[in-house]
Homo-oligomer: A and B are copies of this chain.
């Protein structure tokens, strides 16, 4: 008998999330925009091509090294727009606040959102605030939705990765997840980690100036690069091969993952992107990325192959090859 309850796994961004969306959500809202299953929907209004995206933020704790729920909510939605090649323009913000929440904490979060919006050159143009009784929500949740404009005729989508494409990661993996988890669990790391939460719209803009052959972009948030690569392998009907030794990762993240029994491939990032780029343009794109404050450690970590369609394989440090499956289970609830 099938379990008829929602589990934490269903929100983990991995296999259970994808199954829930495929089996429960998509049969109801079946339309070509949603069916693309990209970070944003893209459609035309008049002559303008727009991207539209939404995300709710439930991160716990709400303040963590390198950010807070407010800046995360601004950058997260900006990044989802940027992953379609859109220039983010306008955001909405919806708060659900627990009765008794400290007003100074709210002010601190709002101030951080303002700074994040200014830094990313977007405007918060509309909002909503609900307050619920004590115990009906854990402190404060934020939804942001955003609208961006796609100003060229590019078509960047998780469906468009091409065999031969190189796979680039913009920097080290796992920083956000480990920073939040360390704060939550009170772990004392020798070198304290900070979340990488950051706006990637300017980085994407510069990449697109360097090349018109960027086929797919994704920010590997919930579920980490393991899940994002699997999504693109499935969406584009291609195989992806990555090389473990090329993946940038901080020693502290490796150490914390060993301590906690986590696989860094599945740990959330909030200021990184994966890019699928035509091999002829890969050096031009890498140069641009490395000159940007959020792409300094950009690396080619793999390639798109004709084998094992819909799957991701990793050549390990010791030379073996293993299949990297989509995340099963939710190893880190409420990480974003």
Q: A129 CA to B8 CA in the complex, in Å?
A: 11
Known: A43-B90, A54-B94. 6 other contacts (CB 8 A): A17-B129, A24-B103, A29-B124, A46-B48, A58-B96, A94-B145
Q: A124 CA to B31 CA in the complex, in Å?
A: 8
Asked whether, in the complex, the Cβ of B25 is within 8 Å of the Cβ of A110, the reply is: yes
Kindly identify which residue among B6, B20, B111, B130 contacts A56, using a CB–CB cutoff of 8 Å: B130
Q: A101 CA to B6 CA in the complex, in Å?
A: 5
Chain B residues within 8 Å of A56, by CB: 94-96, 128, 130, 143
Interface segment, one of A132-140, A205-213, A266-274: A132-140
Chain B residues within 8 Å of A60, by CB: 136
| 22 A-B residue pairings within 8 Å (CB atoms) | A6-B97, A6-B102, A7-B99, A8-B99, A9-B131, A10-B131, A28-B114, A29-B113, A29-B117, A29-B123, A29-B124, A31-B125, A33-B125, A45-B50, A52-B126, A52-B147, A54-B92, A54-B128, A56-B95, A130-B334, A132-B138, A141-B141
> Is A66 at the interface (CB under 8 A from chain B)?
no
Write the nearest CB–CB distance from A108 to chain B, whole angstroms. 11
Q: A268 CA to B305 CA in the complex, in Å?
A: 57
Chain B residues within 8 Å of A317, by CB: none
The oligomer's copy count stands at 2
Write the nearest CB–CB distance from A73 to chain B, whole angstroms. 11
Among A46, A98, A102, A143, which residue has the most Cβ atoms of chain B within 10 A? A143
Asked whether, in the complex, the Cβ of B137 is within 8 Å of the Cβ of A5, the reply is: no
Write the nearest CB–CB distance from A172 to chain B, whole angstroms. 25
Give residues of chain A (32-75) contacting chain B, Cβ–Cβ below 8 Å.
33-34, 40-41, 43, 45-48, 50, 52-56, 58, 60
Chain B residues within 8 Å of A54, by CB: 92-94, 126-128, 143, 145
> Is A164 at the interface (CB under 8 A from chain B)?
no
Q: A98 CA to B141 CA in the complex, in Å?
A: 13
Chain B residues within 8 Å of A136, by CB: 58, 60, 137-138, 334
Write the nearest CB–CB distance from A330 to chain B, whole angstroms. 8
Closest B residue by C-beta to A9: B131
Q: A111 CA to B28 CA in the complex, in Å?
A: 6
> Is A106 at the interface (CB under 8 A from chain B)?
yes
Write the nearest CB–CB distance from A45 to chain B, whole angstroms. 5
